[in-house]
Amino acid sequence: MNVSLSFRAVALHTMFGFVASFATVRAADEPVMPLAIHGETVYTMSGAPLKDGLILVRDGKIRHVGPATGMVYAADHRVIRAKVVTPGFIDAHSTVGLSGILNQPHDQDQSDKSGSFQPELRALDAFNARDPLIAHLRSLGVTTVNTGHAPSALVSGQTMIVKTHGRGADQDVINPAAMTTVALGRNGLTAAEGASGQGQPSTKAPGTRAKAVAMLRAELIKAQEYGRKRENKDETKRPARDLKYDTLLRAFDGSQPLLVNAHRQQDILSALRIAKEFGVKLVLDGCADAPLVLAEIKASGFPVILHPTMARSNQDAENLSIETAAKLKAAGIPFALQSGFESYVPKIRVVLFEAAIAAANGLGFDSALASITIDAARLLGIASRTGSIEAGKDADLALFDGDPFEYTSHATGTVIDGVLFAGTPR
């Protein structure tokens, strides 16, 4: 009796589990209803905001955007109304999907501790599209993230650019190999006790700043030599494929820049020195001390993915400022905002909230919104698809009942690739 009951329970559980996952798959495969979105204010980010604007969405793309007055559209559209509509937000650097909500060893894939130089680690092979934190970001209007390995080793891996649709890495990916993650300063010093929040050293080196840069320099030289030998006309003389150097080589041609986490001004300058020496393309990351070296950053031409505005000001980042975004803007340095990496609570930051603080501290509404939409899209090289509300672009939108930056406004819906996510306003 007991045995058969428990057997039945297992069978039922299995069936429900199956039905549930089947239903999810079906929903994703179902044809998506076209949307007609009326926004009292539409921030298109490709011109002045529209009052009483209309966005028509079909087959995942924006088909039309303009004033609603006089516009007629087919009856098959689902009509949505919102006080404010913006492009879906882009988080220019995160670890979401790798650094899971529970913060237990089984859901933490953002840092492999076995080595200090692992550029071959791809984000795509670790990304959990169904982590609840992805749904959390999505519910607050974040539709795209550049996510991957944390700034927790000299070279910790790669990032990918992915939508927060929540289906799977392969379905939702925009760029599977966006950047290679490098950390100078304390975050990269995995041989130093207490570095990057680790109690004990996890690698033999680097333990100092000079050693870290020396190691990076040595690896870049190896990559150059590898690249030269791989071009040998005699195939038999080419070295065996090496994923580490294949990855690094893409920083030389610029197709996959190094995302260099550096907070202290000397670390920022080291990164720029290395870039000049080897001709590699960089994106600067973090940059708490950026106000001290604005001229050098500007001269390098490299963009900055600034630390979260509300990041904790400690260790290398003890001098960060909530006004740095405004200073980068004033200096004409291209930048975007990020949620960054958090080893504890809050496990993920929300780039919308980071932009809100920047907006209120010198950056202003328009530039702050740009820093998580069109400017972030340009920085990540995805502006042809996302970042603004324009006909032909992906239908990625965020809907609000007021100023999106106001604490007390609510996110009322998010559209990704034309699919509406809505429920209790958040």
Partner 1 sequence: MISGLRLPLLMACGLVAGLHAQEKPIAIKGALVIPIAGEPIAHGVLVVQAGKIIAVGPAASTPIPAGAEVLDATGKVVMPGLVDSHSHIGGGTGGDGSSALHADARVLDAIDARDPSIQKAQAGGITTANVMPGSGHLISGQTLYLKLRDGRTIDDLLIPLPDGSPAGGLKMANGTNSIKAAPFPGTRAKSAALVRDLYIKAQEYREKIRRAGGDAEKIPARDLALEELVEVLEGRRIVQHHTHRHDDILTVLRLAREFGFKVVLHHVSEGWKVPTEIAAAGAAASVIMIDSPGGKLEARDLDWRTPAVLEQAGVLVGFHTDDSVTDSRLFLRSAALGVRAGMTRKGALAALTLANARMLGLDQRIGSLQAGKDADFIILSGDPLSVYTHVEQTWIEGKKVFDRAVAQDRLYAVGGPGAGDPRRAHLCCFTSAQDLITAANQGESL
Binding residues for partner 1, per CB under 8 A?
100-104, 132-133, 136, 289, 291-292, 310, 312-314, 318-324, 342, 344-350, 353, 356-357, 359-361, 405-410, 426
Distance CA 232, CA 2 (A): 71
**Shortest distance (Å) from residue 326 CB to partner 1:** 10
Return the number of the residue (269 or 395) whose C-beta is nearest partner 1: 269
**Shortest distance (Å) from residue 116 CB to partner 1:** 26
Return the number of the residue (266 or 409) whose C-beta is nearest partner 1: 409
**Shortest distance (Å) from residue 409 CB to partner 1:** 7
Q: Is 407 left (phi over 0), alpha (psi -120 to 50) or beta?
A: alpha
Return the number of the residue (134 or 174) whose C-beta is nearest partner 1: 134
Q: Which amino acid is at 93?
A: H
Map tokens 């190896």 to a residue: 222
Distance CA 393, CA 62 (A): 6
381-384-389 Cα angle (round to 5): 120
In this structure, how many other beta carbons lie within 10 angstroms of the beta carbon of residue 84? 19
Return the number of the residue (85 or 350) whose C-beta is nearest partner 1: 350
Return the number of the residue (263 or 393) whose C-beta is nearest partner 1: 263
Return the number of the residue (215 or 360) whose C-beta is nearest partner 1: 360
Return the number of the residue (124 or 360) whose C-beta is nearest partner 1: 360
SS3 219: helix
Return the number of the residue (133 or 395) whose C-beta is nearest partner 1: 133
Q: What is the dihedral angle through the alpha carbons of 261, 178, 134, 376, rounded to the nearest 10 degrees? A: 70
Distance CA 284, CA 264 (A): 12
For residue 125, how far is the Cα from the chain centroid? Answer: 16
> Would you give the DSSP letter of residue 108?
B
Residue 344 sits at φ, ψ, to 5 deg, of -145, -165
**Shortest distance (Å) from residue 246 CB to partner 1:** 35
**Shortest distance (Å) from residue 98 CB to partner 1:** 14
**Shortest distance (Å) from residue 107 CB to partner 1:** 9
**Shortest distance (Å) from residue 171 CB to partner 1:** 24
**Shortest distance (Å) from residue 360 CB to partner 1:** 5
Q: Are 283 and 257 in contact (CB under 8 A)?
A: yes
Q: Are 365 and 359 in contact (CB under 8 A)?
A: yes
**What one-character-per-residue DSSP string does 369-383 give?**
HHHTTHHHHHHHT-T
Q: What is the dihedral angle through the alpha carbons of 100, 101, 105, 108, rounded to the nearest 10 degrees? A: 20
